[in-house]
Structure 1
Amino acid sequence: MTESHGRPRPGPAGSDGEPVYADRVYRSVPGVISGVLLLAVAAWLIGDAALNGSGKTPWVSLAAIPVFAFPVIAYTLRPAVRADERRLVVRNPLRTITAPWAAVDALRAGYSVELLAEGKKYQVWAVPVSLRQRKRAARARERGGEQHSSRLGMVLGAGGTPSGAGVQGSTDPNRAWSDQVVAVLQEMAERNASRPDAAGPVVVRWCWWIIAPTLAGLIALITVIAV
């Protein structure tokens, strides 16, 4: 697990005699909060329509549940980045990219965070870039290195314990949260790329448990409205 102050707690020694640390998990906290609020509001509105509506309204509202709920889950609650000593796992709304460190060419943060691996580019949804945060971080550095407190995200340990506003392992807390995350992941890629267990191809898997119910709900919604 990861302790509340953000330092990884060493576990049992690995095969090379070095301690094994918990995975690092990054996600956008505002995204999660907005997703929970959207689902709560939708549950209230759809529930009211299903219970008190007349005619086709209850059926339309019920058919709309997967069309609304699954995309909200995909774009707000699902995105996350998990990194350990062997690989980087990027969980985007509709697919999951698993990239062993040896296959990672670079990570960069421009107007969005991108993973470059095996000549392909993948967006990293879980780490949003905020130009406003960058400006605030620059002002903090100009004031003499005053620590910049991030509001866009936080580091979570394997058990979901928040580790604070800064990014675990970052050498410059006076940077925007997304830039700190990218710097830490880039350093992990460079450090672990030569590990024998960090080799292999990039694997991309589509999230069918999101896609299939959404499409089925859309067909059902169109059918209910048309009939």
Structure 2
Amino acid sequence: MKQTYRSRSAFVMAWFWLAFVAFNVYDLINKYTGKASMVALAVLAVLTVIVYVVALRPATVFTEHELVGRNPLRTVRVPWAAIDDVTVSHAISVHHGGGEDGSGDGGVLRLWTPMSSARERAKAQRRGMPSQRRRGRFATEPAVSRAEQAAQEALAGRTHADWVGDQIRERAEGARRRTGEQPVQVRTTWAYDAIAVAAAALALVIAAIVVP
């Protein structure tokens, strides 16, 4: 079963941008005025490339056999059994062994999504702490049980990126425990979709320059 994690806010804003671009392209084509329209189309195309590679393309994908990191310009496929460790700070870093040449040299895959900002981590820290609200001389909040307090402490400071990092660790450990499953090489490919979008935008830029 495939699971995909990405920045929800960036993804939604990117689709709003695409709707805005579609409306403007339709308007520019209907009211074509020559070079001015071509320049406007080229500007929209360049901005759309940036939005695509930064907001739409990046994703972290779990498949049955591997972790797929879709970054702006590359796609990295790391078999679960090849993952050695996972660290989470601002971004998730996946430490793995097994280079593409089969040498076994390790590397680090930094995932673009999900990320955790300092503000999000601080908010998670506050959410995990017990409430201390008081009104006058008497507390208005009921006493927190030991189990609830332990859960709050466990969740204190944890963000969505931390949770995804835990899922990666669990899958990697499970893969390494399976009998007969050996780490295989990590595969890295260029983001041909991003390259194609950039080439189309470049073609529009050139057309805007040469059109009289």
Q: TM-score range by the shorter chain?
A: 0.7 to 0.9
Distance 2:3 2:192 in 1: 25
Distance 1:44 1:198 in 2: 51
- Shift, 1:30, TM fit: 0.8
- Aligned-pair Cα RMSD in Å: 2.5
Sequence identity percentage: 31
| Structure 1 unmatched runs, 5+ | 1-21, 145-170
Please tell me whether the aligned partners of residues 49 and 201 of structure 2 are also in contact (alpha carbons under 8 angstroms): no
C-alpha change, 1:224 and 1:76, in structure 2 (3 Å) is same
- TM-score normalised to structure 2 length: 0.72
Distance 1:49 1:197 in 2: 56
1:201 aligns with 2:185: yes
The corresponding residue for 1:131 is 118
Give the secondary-structure state (helix, strand or coil) at the position aligned to 1:128.
coil
Give the secondary-structure state (helix, strand or coil) at the position aligned to 1:193.
helix
C-alpha change, 1:37 and 1:112, in structure 2 (3 Å) is same
The corresponding residue for 1:213 is 197
2:25 to 17, 36, 46: 46
Q: How many residues align?
A: 180
| Structure 2 unmatched runs, 5+ | 98-105, 132-153
The within-5 A match list for 1:91-170 is: 91-118=70-97, 119-143=106-130
1:89 aligns with 2:76: no
Report Cα offsets for 1:148-187 as digits up to 9, x if no partner.
xxxxxxxxxxxxxxxxxxxxxxx85972111111122112
- Shift, 1:67, TM fit: 3.0
The corresponding residue for 2:137 is none
Please tell me whether the aligned partners of residues 14 and 56 of structure 2 are also in contact (alpha carbons under 8 angstroms): yes
Distance 1:141 1:216 in 2: 48
C-alpha change, 1:213 and 1:180, in structure 2 (3 Å) is closer
Distance 1:200 1:130 in 2: 33
Q: Which has the larger radius of gyration?
A: 2
Please tell me whether the aligned partners of residues 71 and 210 of structure 1 are also in contact (alpha carbons under 8 angstroms): no
- TM-score normalised to structure 1 length: 0.68
